């Protein structure tokens, strides 16, 4: 059974008690490798009364040690962000850096209403906020954009994976929150929605959601996702999508590649959580960044070829009718 290998230095980032907005928890980190630096955005908590999240920035040149900026990189400013901005995911499209992030528009503890918004940045200091990109009332989070570059022969269109929690029932052909794929006529307007990945195994019995934005490989789009068991344990798995037709699944892990085991994954603000949210390839190794127990940022790696071969092997074959 293939497994991601935890970095020996885990956790790679912990709360900073001396900094008001990230003194309690730093987790769910996403990365973007621009060839010079590895940029990271992460979710940060500085108080438990309202539990409002902000987004911090850190950078690295080896993917292991990250230097953080003192000031938050993104703060709630818009009305739709009033109760916090969470779980940033980074993607490059046509030379611009895009961040999808979760926004909560009603008070979290009373009547949570969840959407995902988009921002564009070139320097990680200023962000152009482009508004909510998910369908109203769909309770949509875990939204990741496919990367796209000018002259991209394979996929010259805007695409997302997303997890609309309220799209369940016979009319949606799924009875639990699932991963959908959609195509957009712009980076903010996604229209053609299709069901892609439903919960199948016991470790993902309650729901599944995309973790990291798709990574382009020679054999397909590689995606790391999370599944939640009926005991509320968050684990990580992977699937591979066809490069030209990303709604075609080439392989999918049947058992988790990473499940909570270490203390920092078992105990935190929410216990038993590994939540992958960013990845990059360095020296043919896949670096997967994840939040552990909603408290700290962690890293696990795997040889890129090894995970692709595994996803294309019989162990990950997709059964008929799925
Ligand atoms: C999800 C999000 C994540 C969090 C995870 C586990 O719904 O809120 O930010 O890490 O739950 O608590």
Task: Please give the Cα distance from 214 to 233 (Å, whole number).
Answer: 23
Q: Is it the case that residue 299 has pLDDT exceeding 90?
A: yes
Mean pLDDT of the chain: 94
190-218 mean pLDDT: 97
What percent of the chain stands above pLDDT 70? 94
Mind listing the pLDDT tens digit for each residue in 60-80? Answer: 999 999 999 999 999 999 989
Q: Residue 318's pLDDT band (boundaries 50, 70, 90)?
A: confident
Q: Which atom of ligand 1 is nearest to the CA of 273?
A: 6
**pLDDT at position 82, please?**
87
- Please check the confidence at residue 322 and state whether its pLDDT lies above 50: no
CA distance 118 to 84: 14
Lowest-pLDDT range, 11-15, 96-100, 184-188? 184-188
Residue 13 has pLDDT above 80, yes or no: yes
Specify the pLDDT at position 321.
41
* Whether pLDDT at 109 is above 60: no
In the sheet that holds 38-45, the strands lie side by side as 25-33, 38-45, 53-60, 67-68
Mean pLDDT of the 10-16 span: 98
Ligand 1, residues at Cβ distance < 6 Å: 28, 86-87, 234, 270, 273, 275, 291, 294
Query: What helix, strand, coil percent values describe the chain, rounded to 5?
Result: 10, 45, 45
pLDDT per residue as tens digits for the range 29-65: 999 999 899 999 999 999 999 999 999 999 999 999 9
Cα-to-centroid distance, 45 and ligand 1 (Å): 13
pLDDT for position 66: 98
SS3 readout for 72-85: CCECCCCHHHCCCE
Give the distance (Å) from ligand 1 centre to CA of residue 88.
Answer: 12
Query: What pLDDT is stored for residue 151 in this prediction?
Result: 62
Give the residue whose CA is nearest to atom 2 of ligand 1.
Answer: 87
Q: How far is CA 302 from CA 2, 21, 148, 181, 214, in A?
A: 9, 33, 24, 26, 16
How much is the pLDDT for 69? 98
* Per-residue pLDDT tens digits for 113-166: 899 999 999 999 999 999 999 998 899 999 999 998 766 655 678 999 999 999
Domains of the chain: 14-316 (2.115.10.20)
Nearest CA to ligand 1 atom 3: 87
Query: Which of these, 34, 66, 99, lies nearest to 297 by C-alpha position?
Result: 66
């Amino acid at each position: 059974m293939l497994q991601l290998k935890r970095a020996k230095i885990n956790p790679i980032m912990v709360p900073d008690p001396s900094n008001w907005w990230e003194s309690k928890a730093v987790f769910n980190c996403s990365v973007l490798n621009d060839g010079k630096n590895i940029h990271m955005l992460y979710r940060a908590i500085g108080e438990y009364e309202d539990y409002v999240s902000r987004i911090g920035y850190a950078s690295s040149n080896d993917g292991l040690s990250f230097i953080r900026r003192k000031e938050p990189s993104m703060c709630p400013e818009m009305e739709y962000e009033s109760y916090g901005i969470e779980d940033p995911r980074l993607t490059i499209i046509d030379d611009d850096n895009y961040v999808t992030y979760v926004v909560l528009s009603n008070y979290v503890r009373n009547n949570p209403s969840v959407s995902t918004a988009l921002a564009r940045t070139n320097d990680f200091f200023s962000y152009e906020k482009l508004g909510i990109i998910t369908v109203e009332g769909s309770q949509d989070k875990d939204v990741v954009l496919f990367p796209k570059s000018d002259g991209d022969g394979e996929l010259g269109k805007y695409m997302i994976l997303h997890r609309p929690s309220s799209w369940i029932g016979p009319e949606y052909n799924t009875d639990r929150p699932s991963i959908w794929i959609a195509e957009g006529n712009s980076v903010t307007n996604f229209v053609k929605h299709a069901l892609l990945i439903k919960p199948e195994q016991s470790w993902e019995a309650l729901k599944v959601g995309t973790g990291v934005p798709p990574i382009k490989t020679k054999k397909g789009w590689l995606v790391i996702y999370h599944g939640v068991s009926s005991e509320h344990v968050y684990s990580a798995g992977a699937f591979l999508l066809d490069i030209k037709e990303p709604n075609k699944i080439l392989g999918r892990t049947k058992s988790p590649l990473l499940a909570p085991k270490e203390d920092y994954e078992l105990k935190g603000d929410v216990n038993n959580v590994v939540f992958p949210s960013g990845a990059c390839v360095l020296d043919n190794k896949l670096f997967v960044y994840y939040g552990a127990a909603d408290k700290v940022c962690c890293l696990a790696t795997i040889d890129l070829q090894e995970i692709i071969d595994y996803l294309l092997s019989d162990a990950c074959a997709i059964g008929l009718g799925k």
